[in-house]
Structure 1
Amino acid sequence: MGCGTSSKKGNKSKKENTDIIMSSINLVTSASFITEHSRDLMIKAALVIQNWYRRYRARLRVRQHYALAIFQSIEYSDEQGQMQLSSFFSFMLENYTKTNNEDSALVTRIFDNTRRESQIKDRDDFLGLIEVPDSYDGPRLQFPLTFTDIHILLQAFKQQQILHAHYVLEVLFEARKVLKQMPNFSHVKTFPAKEITICGDLHGKLDDLMLIFYKNGLPSENNPYVFNGDFVDRGNNSMEILMILLVCFLVYPSDLHLNRGNHEDFMMNLRYGFTKEILQKYKLHGRKILQVLEEVYTWLPIGTIIDNEILVIHGGISESTDLNTLHQLQRNKMKSVLMPPVLGNQETGEKRNKSASNYVEPRKVEPDKTPSEDLTKQEWEQIVDILWSDPRGKKGCYPNTSRGGGCYFGPDVTSKVLSKNQLKMLIRSHECKPDGYEVSHDGKVITVFSASNYYEEGSNRGAYIRLSYGTMPQFFQYQVTSTSCLNPLHQRMNAMESSAFKILKEKMISRKTDLINAFELRDHSRSGRISLAEWAFSMENILGLNLPWRSLSSHLVTIDSSGSVDYMSSFDDIRIEKPTKDMKSNLTETMYRYRSDLKIIFNIIDSDQSGLISMDEFRTMWKLFNAHYKAHIDDSQIDELASIVDFNKDGNIDFNEFLKAFYVVHKYDKPGTSLA
């Protein structure tokens, strides 16, 4: 686990450092053998050191703030791209009947694979053919599960052992059976003598979960927990976290509560890593695990209500949030946020209220489907809002433009929804916070995030909350660190800062052509230089990232003594590799920019998991993608590209390998300079 630190009700390290300095001053002033003049000089020297240290810490905080802003802006931009896939799928269903048969066949394949009804009828169909060999030396579980199995699993995962696929599937089947019996919202009672612990996003970070259990104790009848979604994706140990939580849930179904997050979604897992993790760890039975897991997700409760006063949901609320609707809808029909509901013709013309989330226009009913197979438009919107929304200080409810799903809700919306439902507080997660938690909306909204070092080591602390009836929430912070915790603070900050600027430059190079066009539009004299204000405006306008571009400029571009920006220097130390030298820039950048979206679509089309896509499918997929995303790629370029990437000329393309050919190369790292 490395060296872990924790603290209650805030970080005491800054106060402790100040106390050390003041203690030194007191020691100096109390020494009888020092003259009054020497004592004065030493006090002045100590105060100079103290002031220097305070300024040093302040500069580091500014640098950390900027680095976190970069990480978060790009994270939300990626999520926005993921949500845009929903619009793409809607576009295909609305338009494929107008296209030729080849396009129709491909679209039908996509939706047969993504909207399939679960065919998991009998667990024996899966488990009967998967035996645990005598040679297996990993953890062995005994059903029905007991506390002993929790202990066995934790010890095995500490030793980096892999749980056999047979046990994984058995846990998933057992969890599905119990989850099916649960309501949409778990109702929990606390007492002054019985607290409950609430944890936020873990995102596959096993060390954080282990540290929480070490500091706070394992789940039990006397130590209940709520885990508020986003157990998986991004981190390397999502499977281990999921298995621990589900085994604990099966042992203590009334005392461990699991809320669904926006990453408990099979389409999200395709982009953010959990699907890949499963297929790597379970090469033989990974597809079976994914199929069962997809259904388990749909049965997770969507929230927890504590003492009839505190609402715990993953994302947030909107002004139209209706707990009565959320209590009654059939939550298992929400297969994925990226697949909006199929609706009747009478609803296709309805527009979503502009104050709510960035809703995608619904599709028409397919001839062979009935509306009962899906949530209604209103129900779908309700779930999207509670999984994706974020609080903001501005009043009202308006589209969540950063993420592309859910809404931003202000303090007035919080007060209205809580008052309407006789609630006092909303506890949610969904957003990384530097201190692991944040209190907003006059104390009525608490954000808790439990994955420390979420972006990079040192980027943030994790936290959990303990509360009981009639008491104020208690916040517990911690941070898991590796051997690099021995490095000086400035060295750790430099590493985090360097990582942030690398991913920002990758975002810039993916829009190189568009950025150059924007720069040249303002470079009337064709000097290759524009003002810093013009450069910053172009960067924000093209990239759509709300960042302090002027403050970041010294890391991204060359600025002369007069303050003019050499805008082509933005791309000096970075380039996109490509399969062939003569590929046009706009095609290269488009392939790189949308590589994650294209890979998801490819993996859906590749229903037999052959790893191959035909030339015709490649052309058709690109033409559909191009038509919706308006990437401005000529059909002739697509045909030429298809021919080039069929390396062995067998009429098929290894699309995953092809996409790996598009990657960013950083020629060198610029010497780190402080942002403050």
Structure 2
Amino acid sequence: MTSNSPEDKAAATALKVQGNKAFAGHDWPGAVDFYTQAIEKYDADPSFFCNRAQANIKLEAYGYAVADATKAIELDKDYIKAYWRRAIANTAILHSQDALRDFKTVCRKEPNNKDAKLKLSECEKLVKKINFLKAIEVADPPSAFEGLDLDSIEVDQTYDGVRLQKEMTQEFIDDMIERFKNGKKIHKKYVFQIIKAVRDIVHDEPTMVEVEVASETKLTVCGDTHGQYFDLLEIFRLNGYPSEKQGYLFNGDFVDRGSWSTEIALLLYAYKWLRPKYFFLNRGNHETDDMNRVYGFEGECKAKYNEKTFRLFSESFSALPLATLIGKKYLTLHGGLFSDDKITLDDIRKLDRHTQRQPGQAGLMMEMLWTDPQPQPGRGPSKRGVGLQFGPDVTKRFCENNGLEAVIRSHEVRMDGYEVEHDGRCITVFSAPKYCDTTENKGAYINLGPELKLEYHQFEAVPHPDIKPMAYATNSPLMNMM
């Protein structure tokens, strides 16, 4: 119960100062905690809510950020920063019209604010682009692979890399790794070849791939890598490069935000092509068109290769499996569990992901890519503004009904790189350390041997060339918000 006494206000202000210190140290969860304590002591200061909104934006809890900014505006109708933060949060969850309204308010209240004018212009362009794409959208578009004649594409004599023939080779991958480290690209013919080969492989895999860990082998589960190529190479350096003894499962969100997303996607695809039975890819919520348009992958494909590259990747993403069942014990999927307790593994097996290419705003696919755990029992509205949250009782029932030990998921930053929740039944793994160059989190990955015991490994971010996150997110109000 809050009060408005001077003593409580002073105590709350002191907590806000601690929150500001945590925020300055990039400890976003700590900042949220201090701002929440301040609000619990004194809930009449709009800056407490506005500051918590900014910390929630850093945590990608955009739904919470919108709610906090809205509360700040209710307390002070002229609080420019709150309109600004609500606009950024709405942009992040693709509520572009709502964002546009708030950017217009900021420009009206501060007509000389150049940053606001720039963001308004970017948001207007984004809304026009979204509306245009909706207008030309057809129910069943032709395949981007239609008419793709790889044999007709010549690789000129000046190309200085290893040449790819009809099959992927370790030699080509080794050369590609070094080229990407040195800021070079591979020839567009090879890009097209790799994407087509992998699209064909994953298209024929079930919606839920079922794998066993053979004797004398290891399977490593990695979470989001988000275009952080040099940190991906650090995983391989520490844990071993993919081989028939060292399998990998990458649990979605390979691309967007980080500015080496094409490099990561092509490297993961090349390994999938080389060792399809030992290397697995689950789709994440960022392997989708609407996210790629806002968070950089579309722009990066066009900048480094061409628009055709993005369209091929887009179609291949929609062919990716949505889940992997490891040893009949661990369901691994990007987001989390469902709005209905009746959902079973068989429902996932039966899901036709090829008919519905994009996850949309509701349904099984959306929930598999977007939902998050919460500590409270039951289900609740999503802190992101998309999907929902599920409690420990939901996880317990799902695991018991389906004979599982746990659900392994990704989708959220964890400061330690991983977190075990819901009495051990819900495990989050996140593999992008120092996320977006601003969050002081570790990365992590999980190893499983034939006995299916989970071994957690943490790692730190490594240096990378001086290219900022979201470098290719053209016409997005999210540019430079990090």
Report the TM-score, using the length of structure 1 for normalisation: 0.51
Structure 1 residues 418 and 272: alpha-carbon distance in aligned structure 2, compared to 1, 3 A threshold: same
Question: Match for residue 355 of structure 2?
Answer: 333
Give distance in 1, aligned partners of 2:211 and 2:140.
35
Mapped to 2, the partners of 1:444 and 1:397 lie a distance apart of 16
Q: What is the Cα-based RMSD across aligned positions, in Å? A: 3.2
Q: For 1:114 and 1:434, how far apart are their aligned partners in 2?
A: 42
Write the letter of the residue equivalent to 1:147. Q
**SS of residue in 2 equivalent to 1:224:** strand
Alignment pair present for 1:462 and 2:472? no
How far apart are 1:195 and its partner, in Å?
2.1
8 Å contact from structure 1 (residues 139, 156) kept in 2: no
Aligned to 2:393, the other structure's residue is in SS state helix
Q: How far did residue 117 of structure 1 move?
A: 1.5
**Paired amino acid for 2:260:** N
Matches within 5 A, 1:50-69: 63-66=25-28, 69=32
Summarize the Cα distance change of 1:109–1:391 in structure 2 as closer, same or farther, 3 Å threshold: closer
Mapped pair 1:429 → 2:451:
no
Q: 1:304 aligns with which of 298, 306, 324?
A: 324
Residue by residue over 1:142-197, the C-alpha shift from the partner in whole angstroms, topping out at 9 and shown as x without a partner, is 32112222212112212221111111111111111111211111111125632210
Alpha-carbon distance in structure 2 between the residues aligned to 1:453 and 1:152: 27
Answering whether residue 314 of structure 2 is matched by residue 294 of structure 1, we say yes
Matched, 1:409 2:384: no
**What does residue 183 of structure 1 align with?**
206
Equivalent position SS for 1:331 = coil
Aligned to 2:377: 395
Segment drifting more, 165-174 vs 253-262: 165-174
Which AA in structure 1 matches 2:302? L
Task: Indicate conservation of the 8 Å contact 1:232/1:274, yes or no.
Answer: yes
Q: 1:121 to 1:152 in 2, by over 3 A?
A: closer
Q: 1:73 aligns with which of 48, 57, 77?
A: 57
Cα contact 2:230–2:464 (8 A) shared by 1 = no
Per the alignment, residue 335 of structure 2 pairs with 315
Superposed, 1:498-647 pairs within 5 Å as none
1:262 is aligned to 285
1:138 shift after superposition:
3.9
User: Hey, what's the Cα distance between the residues in 1 that align with 2:480 and 2:211?
Assistant: 49
Distance in 2, matches of 1:327 and 1:137, equals: 45
Residue identity opposite 1:112 in structure 2: I
Distance 1:168 1:275 in 2: 15
In structure 2, how many angstroms separate the alpha carbons of the residues matched to 1:450 and 1:107? Answer: 34
Output one character per residue of 1:424-448: Cα deviation in whole Å (capped at 9) or x when no partner: 1111000001111111001111100
Other structure's SS at 2:134 match = helix
Q: Deviations over 1:264-296 (max 9, x none)?
A: 0121100000111111112xxx12112211110
Supply the AA of the counterpart residue of 2:358. Answer: S
> Which structure is larger by alpha-carbon Rg, 1 or 2?
1
The amino acid of 2:238's aligned partner reads: K
Range that drifts further, 72-81 or 219-228? 72-81
Percent identical pairs in the alignment equals 34
Unaligned runs of 5+ in 2: 1-20, 33-53, 63-87, 99-129
TM-score, normalized by length of structure 2?
A: 0.71
Equivalent in 114, 134, 159 of residue 110 of structure 1: 134
TM-aligned CA distance change 1:238 to 1:395, over 3 Å: same
Q: 2:366 aligns with which of 374, 377, 384?
A: 384
Q: How much has 1:403 moved relative to structure 2?
A: 1.4
**SS of 1:225 mapped into structure 2:** strand
Distance 2:177 2:398 in 1: 40
SS of equivalent residue, structure 1 residue 475: strand
Provide the secondary structure at the position in 2 that maps to 1:442.
helix
Secondary structure, counterpart of 1:413 in structure 2: helix
Return the alpha-carbon distance in structure 2 between the equivalents of residues 418 and 384 of structure 1.
20
Report the counterpart of residue 144 of structure 1 in structure 2.
Answer: 167
Aligned to 1:20: none
Give the Cα–Cα distance (whole angstroms) in 1 for the partners of residues 97 and 326 of structure 2.
36
Unpaired runs of at least 5, structure 1: 1-58, 89-105, 341-358, 360-380, 485-498, 500-595, 600-655, 666-676
Does the C-alpha gap of structure 1 residues 392 and 413 become closer, same or farther in structure 2, counting only changes over 3 Å? same
> Aligned runs of 1:21-170 on 2, under 5 Å?
63-66=25-28, 69=32, 70=54, 72-74=56-58, 75-77=60-62, 81=91, 83-85=93-95, 110-113=134-137, 115-120=139-144, 122=146, 124-125=148-149, 127-128=150-151, 130-170=153-193
Aligned to 1:522: none
Assess, with a 3 A threshold, how the Cα gap between structure 1 residues 109 and 318 changes in structure 2: closer, same or farther: closer
Partners of 2:227 and 2:464 in 1: how far apart?
20
Amino acid at match of 2:143: Q
Q: Separation in 2 of the partners of 1:139 and 1:280?
A: 23
- Quote the residue 1:530 is aligned against: none
Separation (CA, whole Å) in 1 of partners of 2:212 and 2:281? 16
